[in-house]
Amino acid sequence: MDSRQPVQNLGETIHSLLGLKAHLTSNWVKSVRDIIKNLPSEKSSADIKAKTLETGDSLDNEDVEGNAVSKLKDELAALTAKINQLNIQRRQVLNEFLDLKGNIRVFCRVRPIRVEENYGCLRPVVALDSNNVLLRLHDNKSKSYSFDKVFHPGSSQDEVFSEIEPVVKSALDGYNACIFAYGQTGTGKTFTMEGNPDSPGVVPRTIEALFKQVVESNHPFLISFSMLEIYLGNLQDLLTTQPTKATDPMPPRLSIKTDPKSGIEINNLAAIQVNDFNQALRLYRLGCRFRTTASTNSNTTSSRSHCMIRISITCFDAPERRRETNKIWLVDLGGSERVLKTKAWGRRLDEGKAINLSLSALGDVINALQRKKRHVPYRNSKLTRVLKDSLGEDSKTLMLVHVSPKEEDLCETICSLNFASRAKSIHLGHDDSIEIRDQKEASMKNLQQKMERIEEERLKVRGDIEKLSEELENLTRPAPSFEVKPQVPHLSSEEPLYNLKVKKDRIGDVTAPLSQLPGFMRSTFCSRRKSGRDLHTVEEKGQVLGRRRRRSSHRAESVTFPVKNISEYNSEHSISKSSCLAGLNMKSSADYETDYSIETVQGDINMVTFGKQEKSQRTSIRQRASLSYPEQCGNQKKEKDNSTKFPTIGDCLLHKSEPLTSSCTQRSKPVQAVPIAEEKCDGSGPNRTWISHNSKVPICEFKVEAFISHNTTKKQFDVEGVEVPVAEVITEKPQTMLKDLFAEESRSNSPSASHTTQTTTLTQDFVDGLLLEDNASGTLSSPDMCSGRLDQYEDDDETYLIPTMQAVKFDMPCPDSILNYKECSFSPTGKENHIFDSKRDTGISISISELESHCQEVSTEIGIKDKEMEDFDDSSPLSSIGTTPRSFKWTSQRTLFMGPRTSEVSKHAICYITRNCTKQW
């Protein structure tokens, strides 16, 4: 109707504004002001909007979200309960299954014939089927043995591990487990346990499976890794750096204790927490480097000890587990051997005896357990004492017996198979009737099917949990914020179990009150130092547990040796721990490198790189420093007591990418080279290794020109402020299966180095005795060397240390005259190669007939042999140190440099050149 009126009014208003001042009354102004005031502003409209949102509608949305979240949480809780239930069922079924199979199961693996072996011989061991092996005896007789599983020569590592995996699962369920490889030397125990990069063995697979299952599990686990060897009846921690020279402190002695809570404990054994597969693998690799191996007639890299890996598993909030903390042992036993056959002597003989004794004790224990005897003779050996709580009733034990297919190994094969039969005879129930056996088999089949169903269901529930967790995360994800909140790992049962990702990340990072941990999981002082946790504290306290600084060398003299036709050694080619270590480093040097970088800092060991050399497996040259004097033993004992300085494993792992001091693309192994006084270096040429003696040996000026015939360089490093030149030696890497074991991992982790070597210095203490041994080639081109380590013999009260150094060999000409004598010496005063009367000059009585008694074959070859000082004859009138030299019993052909313990002995290096002796040991 009056739609035009306002416009007309407006016109009037404008009119009035434009000039009709009469209309501009105060009332008019007020009314205009009011209009303007009531106009809705932008801000107030936004406020209204916000208010609206805050009321009715927004409340509805929150309800919806909240409901969804709580619904998801409920569902997740239900699924978690379900999966827990399934876990319990699975554990029960698995346990029943393993009970039926037997808590001690025995597998047999037949080694394939190697390429270099004689094909022509009859194969006495034949794998008949998956449970039986047939042993062909003479006169067309044969004998069959049955086992839980038989792996024929073509069986893969996969097949072997598939039989072992249930035990690993069982370990995660809280059962103690023990898996060990048994068998004659050279039958493939190490191959089964360690494997190679193409076919990894039981240990890496077990670690992998364990972590995989931990990740899949909905519980946080604490996992720790330890590694030791039992060598000559003594426990040695393989994750603790062993001393390489006399002045190094000894690591704390390992001792076996029984803890009421956690069972068997090994005091001072490093137990290092590992968070994932790679960490565990790297520790394993580190430990493998320090294993004691040697070349024997039967195996070029024979394990001379029992190597034991312990993985401890702790889970605090899983009541369904058998026990809070349990452990799994993986043991590569030393090879049983017949001394007559291996012709072992000296150290190799002792090792063989120690191994055989402990294996026999193990057989007794297993037999007693199988027969459920009241007395189980655990105490008869350290091996069985250590394994006591993992071999008994409530544990799962797997024995992998290895046999050779060769006819010439028939005796050993029969022994091994009898040993294995003894272990498995009872649980397999040979006395059971056929019906009972059938029943057992049917039940096992049922249980297996049940397990598969449970496993399927578990997988499904797991998938559902992951899906729901993701949804929940999306719903509850907070708005992005720049505030970084530190995540504190904790082990709390209140933490939602569905947060799998978080759990994965913090496996092993869990912390618990120390008191909650069983004794052997509690870190010792030593392991805390290894993990670097106590390092600062110790240093702050000024208790730097440093090794004694080595004295600088003052002299370096040399003795020149001729080497022409050197006899061949078949046995007794030592490959020390460190040489194995080098073997590992072909593709991965990281740990090795870092391991020794610590040493380098202290000026004791340096890293050098060596080039490629021809390697003859059957030859070996070795140099040893023999430290056998009581006063040195005394020093050692004192140092042992005060021993405090160890590199941290954590550091080792952390320094992985540090560069080497030099590089080389060829295979190599570490050797120790010797510092020389600078003034003695001249004229030595580039291809020599020097051995120095310090000022304590004024008369002993041996000019030893070691064999290194190529690629030797000199380096300097500072020892107590003195620049000491050291020689670096290029050597060939020893044959070891481990060399490539973790190539892939190392390739990714350590891009640079393909190998490493080490250089260290020798003090007088270390070079007290130097044993030389040479090869048959006479060309000295085959540096199968051993690098330094200390062998430790331990009686109840005493510890003897025998440092072993790398071999040296010589390529200097020797006057013909010397070759006519079976004994000669090299005098300290430049009258080299004069004829030596050992009795007259040193008081040491050595009979040539004794020397020759070792020689079974007469040859025209000339060999430099070394004589190994084996035992002291303390009753000898010559034995009082400081006045007269000790009398030694020589047990092998060696060349000996006796150390300068007495003025007389120190004058001479004795070299036995035996024209008529060849290897035949």
Ligand X SMILES: Nc1ncnc2c1ncn2[C@@H]1O[C@H](COP(=O)(O)OP(=O)(O)OP(=O)(O)O)[C@@H](O)[C@H]1O
Kindly list the residues in this chain that would bind ligand X in the complex (CB under 6 A).
111-112, 114, 183, 185-191, 299, 301-303, 334-335, 402, 737
Q: Provide the minimum distance between the beta carbon of 304 and ligand X in the complex, in angstroms, as a whole number.
A: 8
Residue 166 or 183 having the CB closest to ligand X:
183
Cβ 550 vs Cβ 670: under 8 Å: no
Residue 126 or 878 having the CB closest to ligand X:
126
Q: Provide the minimum distance between the beta carbon of 404 and ligand X in the complex, in angstroms, as a whole number.
A: 9
Collapsing DSSP to helix, strand or coil, 430 comes out as coil
Q: Could you give the count of Cα atoms lying within 13 Å of 37 in the half-sphere of its Cβ?
A: 6
Q: Provide the minimum distance between the beta carbon of 179 and ligand X in the complex, in angstroms, as a whole number.
A: 15
Radius of gyration of the chain (CA): 37
Residue 114 or 373 having the CB closest to ligand X:
114
Q: Provide the minimum distance between the beta carbon of 348 and ligand X in the complex, in angstroms, as a whole number.
A: 11
Q: Provide the minimum distance between the beta carbon of 112 and ligand X in the complex, in angstroms, as a whole number.
A: 5
Q: Provide the minimum distance between the beta carbon of 792 and ligand X in the complex, in angstroms, as a whole number.
A: 20
Q: Provide the minimum distance between the beta carbon of 188 and ligand X in the complex, in angstroms, as a whole number.
A: 3
d(CA 860, CA 388): 55
Residue 681 or 737 having the CB closest to ligand X:
737
Q: Provide the minimum distance between the beta carbon of 356 and ligand X in the complex, in angstroms, as a whole number.
A: 12
Residue 153 or 650 having the CB closest to ligand X:
153
Residue 190 or 756 having the CB closest to ligand X:
190
Q: Provide the minimum distance between the beta carbon of 249 and ligand X in the complex, in angstroms, as a whole number.
A: 30
Residue 102 or 195 having the CB closest to ligand X:
195
Residue 299 or 672 having the CB closest to ligand X:
299
> 576 CB contacts (<8 Å, ≥6 apart)?
292, 786, 787, 788, 789, 804
CA-to-CA separations, 772 to 181, 697, 732, 895, in angstroms, rounded: 35, 20, 18, 5
Q: What are the structure tokens assigned to 488, written together? A: 């504190």
Q: Provide the minimum distance between the beta carbon of 854 and ligand X in the complex, in angstroms, as a whole number.
A: 24
Q: Would you tell me how many other CB atoms lie within 10 Å of the CB of residue 648?
A: 22
**β partners of residue 370:** none
Cβ 276 vs Cβ 507: under 8 Å: yes
Residue 302 or 325 having the CB closest to ligand X:
302
d(CA 706, CA 683): 13
Cβ 883 vs Cβ 533: under 8 Å: no
d(CA 11, CA 93): 98
Residue 186 or 508 having the CB closest to ligand X:
186
Q: Provide the minimum distance between the beta carbon of 292 and ligand X in the complex, in angstroms, as a whole number.
A: 10
> 144 CB contacts (<8 Å, ≥6 apart)?
128, 132, 133, 134, 135
Helices (DSSP H) in 39-177: which residue ranges? 42-54, 56-101, 157-172
Instruction: Determine if residue 567 is left, alpha or beta; phi over 0 gives left, psi from -120 to 50 gives alpha, anything else beta.
Output: beta
Q: Would you tell me how many other CB atoms lie within 10 Å of the CB of residue 431?
A: 8
Residue 383 or 673 having the CB closest to ligand X:
383
- CA neighbor of 690 nearest in space, from 719, 725, 721, 660: 725
Residue 170 or 292 having the CB closest to ligand X:
292
CA 635 to mean position of chain CA atoms: 29
Pairing outcome for strands 605-608 and 757-760: antiparallel
Q: Which residue has the tokens 């998801």?
A: 72
CA-to-CA separations, 74 to 80, 458, 518, in angstroms, rounded: 10, 19, 35
d(CA 413, CA 403): 6
Backbone angles phi, psi at 661, to 5 degrees: -70, -25
Residue 711 or 736 having the CB closest to ligand X:
736
Q: Provide the minimum distance between the beta carbon of 739 and ligand X in the complex, in angstroms, as a whole number.
A: 11
CA-to-CA separations, 606 to 346, 689, 715, 758, in angstroms, rounded: 32, 15, 9, 5
Cβ 311 vs Cβ 280: under 8 Å: yes
Q: What are the structure tokens assigned to 139, written together? A: 């006169």
Q: How many helices (H) and strands (E) does the chain have?
A: 26, 33
Q: Provide the minimum distance between the beta carbon of 305 and ligand X in the complex, in angstroms, as a whole number.
A: 9
